[in-house]
Structure 1
Amino acid sequence: MQIQQNFRKEQWKMLFITMFCYLFFYTGRHNFGWAAKGMTEELSISYQQIGWISFSMLMGYAIGQLINGNLADRFSPKIMILTGGFLSIICNLSISYSNSYGMILILWTLNGYFQSMAWGSGSKLISNWWDSSERGKAFGFYTMAAGSSSVLTFFMALQLVQQEQSWRTLFRFPILFLGFALILFLIIARSHPSLKGFTITSDNKSDSKTQDLGWKDAYKQVFGNKKFIIASFAIGFQSMARYGLIFWVPIHFLGNNYKESSGNLWLTLFIPIGMAVGAISFGYISDLLFEKNRSKSIRTGMVCSCAIALLIYFIPTPHHILAAFLMFTSGFFVYGPQANFWTLSPDLLGTKLVGTGIGVMNMFAYVFAAIGEPIFGKIIDYTGDTSNIFLAVAVICALCAIIISFVKPDINQIIYD
């Protein structure tokens, strides 16, 4: 009984320290959009070039997910997170002193790769500590940390923008918090229960088949799993819709002159707040309401997202309260289901391939997100109406809901002794 209590305590400690660390990771990634305007003015960089910088970061992140997810299965997830975090800090600081488009492009692409070292590794660490009976809840908390990281980054950036600070400060001050979080993670985190003296056993059938797989065979196992690849295509559309909200919807609500609409400027916070609340909620929704049927939970969330996007399109939102509510609910339903996507990796592949599986899945997510960026921009340029963003988001969410319906995972239990 005492051993079980001690293990339970360590379980939560490892989850919370991983969440706390990832809570500050977006300070080194979602800060770029807020710096774009000042960067274009000071360095005479066009918005088209800004778009290519953003695209390159997302592609660097996607490629990194494909590589680093597998590395997380073979090396220490803790070391992977620490390495990626500190290298990301170096890239951000270097950009703050850069004066050329080419240098910023290279550094921001590298930053995308380094940032990719954290998510799959953190997922691996959490899967090592939490069995399938509670994994939906654990990943819900973890995904909430990612959503909350957007809130935190938006808040810091808004403060600096309203104080009319240089765009360079957006790459200097926020990432100091990431450095502090990494130091705490270094001291507290452990990659596996065995490093704290706990013995674990697994009856997951997939684990027994993948115990001694080499890295090539691990990728073959992942890409050969039809249900998992279908789920990866589904998260691609979910991620495209998510980034459609994060990067383009504020343009629709705020307009160009943010100094004369500071109230509207703060409304942007409701999107990531909704995402954070949605993430933790869908972890419980999946486990309790849908009895661990991840596909059904995801489909429900994306159908709701589709409906809300259509509602925003057809109903004008001149009042702040209504606009805030719609932004919150759109973030809630478009991002919440992502917490259920990550649990599909251990559910379908077993815990031995969690890092590789989540890396592949996140690669799909960010390749689709990168492709979606110019598509959303083209829609706005062609129609001249930013409200058409919501029609596009509605269609994308509907496609995700349809695709995920073909995935019905079998849940295998992992027993901790």
Structure 2
Amino acid sequence: MKILSFFKPAPHRPVTGTPEEQARDYRQSRRQAIFVMVTVYGLYYVCRLSLNVMKKPLVDSGYLTTEQLGFIGSALFFAYAVGKCVNGFLADRCDIRKFMSVGLFVSALANFALGFRMPAVLFAVLWGINGYAQSMGAPASVVGLARWFSNRERGTYYGIWCTSHNLGEALTFILTSLIVTSFGWQWGFVGASLFGLVGVVLAWTLYHDSPQSRGLPPISEWSGETVPTEKAKSPTSVGAGQKAVLMNWAVWMIALSSAFIYVARYAINSWGIYFLEMKKGYSNIEASSIISVNAIFGLFGTLFSGVISDKLFSGRRNAPALIFGLMNTVALCLFLLVPGAHKWVDVVAMVLFGTSIGVLFCFLGGLMAVDVAPKNAAGAALGVVGIASYLGAGIQDIVSGYLIKSQGAVEGGKEVYEFAHTVFRFNGCEYAVDHIALFWIGASLLSVLCALTVWNVKPKE
């Protein structure tokens, strides 16, 4: 009961001050809110992706195998999937400042513990605990967006918030990779833990639960939005809204589309560096630098995704989702099907992949579901999408790890990887395609097809 009491929403304070003072306080609190959402959730990602830049050192040291890494990676994704659904529903009813701070604190502790050698099973358990703790960050952010920003600002600020994952990926693929290369994989986990603790301090000191907890009017009143009478009067509106989310077929189709794009997204994030090292012969620093291009350009994709849909498509997300979905498939084809190490081709592929994932992460990963859900159930909509997305990511890690492991061979006492392939014949020519490429590219195409099923669904006003 003490835990439940700790997470209770911050009490509402009486509205005080002149309209000018309220406007000043609102502007400051909103700036702090979006700063925390972007920066702190970016640091969440540093603690989530830390393992991805350490896979080759862990395998080379004989500590873990690729098959073990596949199951360990899936432990995070499955725990995250369950947690994101549960915590999505809980965040609608919690103090989001405490919710975000506690999640990152636990994640930082898990990363610190993983800097010590331990059995693979215990490693997987701790990585799973990290996954559940990670699932507290996104709901706390999305609920904050609903509480601090109006409907007409949703796309723009959601896009700004989505840049957090690019910030986290860039920090991971550049700084964490540098730490691992310089000091070893153990210090990579320690470094990620320290980044996480910085985020805890920022969230605890700068984030606020709601405008009412600051003695300000609710965002609908301050922004001049019209609140439907039935929602304003219903004491069970949160529960009713969450039930409506569960009964909405469009939310589930968006969730399925997101699950497939998360296969592609985390295939590159989890195995892209390893693929470049083993398949194309790049060094760890070279491979990490190429994959970091994906994070950097993803930043632009997420930053402008809301603006693109709000300004160019009048708030509709379906057309840009189709355009960038096809771009994602083309990017994977360049990355996986062009033989040999051609750095400029791989960089171009990551530019296209990062840009498209940035937009699709924003749209399919939450915004399209939030659009068609009641506003007071934003966390629940994100939870439904989250559990599907990370189940997809978890299955991806197991399948990818198995495909890579099953294609390994030992030559001269050293493990060498020749990626198994299927040969296609067309016009007298033979084309060899890796099985893992078929898996990743196929997921990207299926995501596009699922997204098309909700083309005519209109957002909630």
**TM-score normalized by the length of structure 2:** 0.81
1:186 aligns with 2:172: no
- 1:247-275 C-alpha deviation (Å, 9 max, x unpaired): 23333333279785743442221122222
1:83 aligns with 2:98: no
1:404–1:184 Cα change, 3 Å: same
1:312–1:345 Cα change, 3 Å: closer
Counterpart mapping for 1:246-261 below 5 A: 246-255=269-278
1:54 aligns with 2:76: no
Higher Rg = 2
Q: Secondary structure at the match of 2:142?
A: helix
1:398 aligns with 2:398: no
Q: What is the percent sequence identity of the aligned residues?
A: 20
Distance in 2, matches of 1:19 and 1:350, equals 24
Q: Which residue of the partner structure matches residue 377 of structure 2?
A: 353
1:273 aligns with 2:296: yes
Distance in 2, matches of 1:314 and 1:45, equals 29
Deviates more, 1:312-321 or 1:171-180: 312-321
- 1:107-147 C-alpha deviation (Å, 9 max, x unpaired): 11111001111111111111211112111111111111112
Shift of 1:212: 3.6
Q: Which amino acid aligns with 1:287?
A: D
Q: Which residue of the partner structure matches residue 36 of structure 1?
A: 55
**TM-score normalized by the length of structure 1:** 0.89
Q: Secondary structure at the match of 1:291?
A: coil
Contact 2:280 2:341 survives alignment (8 Å): no
1:194–1:315 Cα change, 3 Å: same
1:405–1:370 Cα change, 3 Å: same
Shift of 1:326: 1.6
Q: Which residue of the partner structure matches residue 291 of structure 1?
A: 314
Q: Which residue of the partner structure matches residue 410 of structure 1?
A: 458
Q: Which amino acid aligns with 2:420?
A: G
RMSD over aligned CA atoms reads 2.7
1:391–1:353 Cα change, 3 Å: same
Shift of 1:314: 5.0
Shift of 1:157: 2.2
The one of 354, 364, 368 equivalent to 2:392 is 368
Distance in 1, matches of 2:60 and 2:441, equals 34
Q: Which amino acid aligns with 1:130?
A: F
Distance in 2, matches of 1:40 and 1:311, equals 27
- 1:384-408 C-alpha deviation (Å, 9 max, x unpaired): 2585544433322222122112224
The one of 341, 352, 365 equivalent to 1:329 is 352
1:278–1:409 Cα change, 3 Å: same
Contact 1:128 1:351 survives alignment (8 Å): no
Distance in 2, matches of 1:54 and 1:34, equals 12
Contact 1:305 1:330 survives alignment (8 Å): yes
1:373–1:37 Cα change, 3 Å: same
Q: Which residue of the partner structure matches residue 147 of structure 1?
A: 166
Distance in 1, matches of 2:135 and 2:367, equals 18
- Runs of at least 5 residues in structure 1 that lack an aligned partner in the other structure: none
Distance in 2, matches of 1:61 and 1:54, equals 11
Counterpart mapping for 1:27-176 below 5 A: 27-40=46-59, 42=61, 44-163=63-182, 165-176=183-194
Deviates more, 1:92-101 or 1:231-240: 92-101
- 1:310-352 C-alpha deviation (Å, 9 max, x unpaired): 3445545643233212212112113322212322343222221
Contact 2:71 2:397 survives alignment (8 Å): no
Length, aligned pairs only: 412
Q: Which amino acid aligns with 1:208?
A: K
1:210–1:304 Cα change, 3 Å: farther
Deviates more, 1:212-221 or 1:165-174: 212-221
Q: Which amino acid aligns with 2:380?
A: T
- 1:165-222 C-alpha deviation (Å, 9 max, x unpaired): 2321111112212211221221111121122332123645598199544887665322
Q: Secondary structure at the match of 1:192?
A: coil
Indicate the structure with greater strand content: 2
1:198 aligns with 2:216: yes
Distance in 2, matches of 1:241 and 1:257, equals 19
1:343 aligns with 2:362: no
Q: Which amino acid aligns with 1:411?
A: P
Distance in 2, matches of 1:46 and 1:322, equals 30
Q: Secondary structure at the match of 2:209?
A: coil
Distance in 2, matches of 1:50 and 1:332, equals 28
1:318–1:107 Cα change, 3 Å: closer
Distance in 2, matches of 1:315 and 1:34, equals 24
Distance in 1, matches of 2:233 and 2:386, equals 21
